[in-house]
Amino acid sequence: MVRHDHPTPVLGALGLFTVLLGAALPLIDFFIVNVALPTIDHDLDAGPALLELVVAGYGLAYAVLLVLGGRLGDMAGRRRLFLLGIAAFGITSLACGLAPDAWTLVGARVAQGAAAALMLPQVLATIQAATSGHRRARAMSLYGATAGLSMVAGQILGGVLVAAAPLSSVFGESAGWRSVFLVNVPVAAVGLVLAARSVPETRSERPAPIDVPGTLLLAASLVTLLAPLTEGRAAGWPLWTWVSLALFPFAAAAFYRVERRADRKGLIPLVPPSLLRLDSLRRGLSLVLPFSVGFGGFMFVIAVALQQGLKLGPAASGLSMAPMAAAFFAASLAGPGLVRRYGSRVVTAGGIIQALGVVVLVITVWRDWSGLGMLGLLPGMAIAGLGQGLQLPVLFRIVLSDVPPERAGVGGGVMTTTQQAALALGVATLGSLFLSLAPGSGMRDALAVTLLVQLGAVVLTTLLSLRLPRAVA
């Protein structure tokens, strides 16, 4: 049993496993619905706009509240907020799985995203506050590996669950998509028990009050950008989408001015501009953004292309991601040793390898679309996954390497908000591009063009990696 009042809290092996389980759940659930969307549409008669909201409602609530979740953990205790978040995540997952109609599912997904935003920032903050030296480097590498694997594993797990439909005797044809949510309930229950026993309590020694203006303006900035980009295509680009996009730069500018003013007055804003002056954090985030935009868009587009274009079943569509997941895992295990030897140049090498994988996928799609299956996709998926696994865990380490422990919650919240907002932006932009091109150009050409756009994001990430500090703490 962990002594939660210990003056120097230590995160043991079981505690690390538990918080990483908490980190995996929100990311798995962002992607797990991709392969379930056709069955949700069929069962609930949702239509394109509501299906977009099933994905976007979760992503928006998650992205908007992440920094606030980190601040609350600094104030009230990160273990306490982690327990509250994982319990709420289990309850809202149950609500998603039992939803009788599409609008109820959308509402439950928004609540699920809010629960995830309470839970996830505590993971990074606890690692920062309760580990040091080699143990922290190892924990951060494992966090990065968990994040990347979770995003791929979500799609694989979703495909298998939709195809297996283990609850068919209870729910009939809707069992497949319901199971992708209900599977979270026992996992969250186990996580709750383990967290109560193994996660030490940490909090900021000088917790700051809630930055209400900053919170509201950050929410306004993210909503005015992500909501119209996500819903615009499906809704036919009504007037509100253009008004919202026009308001975004004003909301973002107001957010920055309010935060800078608070920082200059010696207050502690939601996202302190002084934190962004940390060279490692600023440069690391500049890579996390294009990496996550490309990754989020790719995972959504490939699920639609394989199921609707090639008519692969949900299991085959999900399992097509397995080579990417396996290669990512292998690269993540090798990453810490490579970083000790080559520093941040591992990220550059990873970008080059990922770019090669995307090129192989483009050639494969172009040359053999009609006969494309899991084996045909394997080389490109594996090469891309290898490159991604060399980048993401190292980027997470770099972003948080110089953040002081007392600001761990804020630093973790800023990073996860950037990642989550970029994932949602990738789904909105690359997803809309693909779905706009597909009716006129066909699935093959639409997928090839979208992959080439993603390739541009990979090239940008690779070039920016040359500006990273060579040594990685």
pLDDT value of residue 106: 93
Vertex 465, ends 463 and 470: CA angle to 5°?
Answer: 135
Residue 442: how many other CB atoms lie within 10 Å: 13
What radius of gyration, in Å, describes the C-alpha atoms of the chain?
21
Place of tokens 């669950």: 161
* Cα–Cα distance list, 97 to 61, 93, 242, 260 (Å): 18, 6, 34, 43
Chain mean pLDDT for the chain: 86
366-376 pLDDT tens trace = 988 888 888 89
* pLDDT range class, residue 67, cuts 50, 70, 90: confident
User: What's the CA gap between 233 and 431, in Å, rounded?
Assistant: 10
Per-residue pLDDT tens over the stretch 146-183: 887 887 888 888 888 887 765 555 555 566 788 889 99
CA dihedral (335, 337, 338, 339) positive or negative: positive
The whole-number pLDDT of residue 454 equals 93
Among 259, 264, 296, which residue's Cα sits nearest to residue 418? 296
User: Whole-angstrom Cα distance, residue 307 to residue 230?
Assistant: 21
* Whole-angstrom distance, CA of residue 68 vs CA of residue 323: 36
The whole-angstrom separation of Cα 131 and Cα 455 is: 37
Q: How far apart are CA 344 and CA 395, in angstroms?
A: 9
Write the DSSP assignment of 408-450 as a string of letters: HHHHHHHHHHHHHHHHHHHHHHHHHHHHHHHHHH-HHHHHHHH
* C-alpha to C-alpha distance for 179 and 339, rounded to whole angstroms: 39
| Closest to 458 measured CA to CA, from 333, 339, 327, 357 | 357
Q: What is the mean pLDDT of residues 397-419?
A: 78
**Which segment, 204-208, 351-355, 371-375, 469-473, is predicted with the most confidence on average?**
351-355
Range with the largest mean pLDDT of 50-54, 348-352, 463-467: 348-352
- For 231-289, what is each residue's pLDDT tens digit? 888 788 899 999 999 999 999 999 999 999 988 887 778 888 888 888 888 888 999 99
For residues 250 and 2, give the distance between their C-alpha atoms in angstroms, rounded to a whole number.
48
Nearest residue to 417 (alpha-carbon basis) of 21, 60, 19? 60
pTM: 0.83
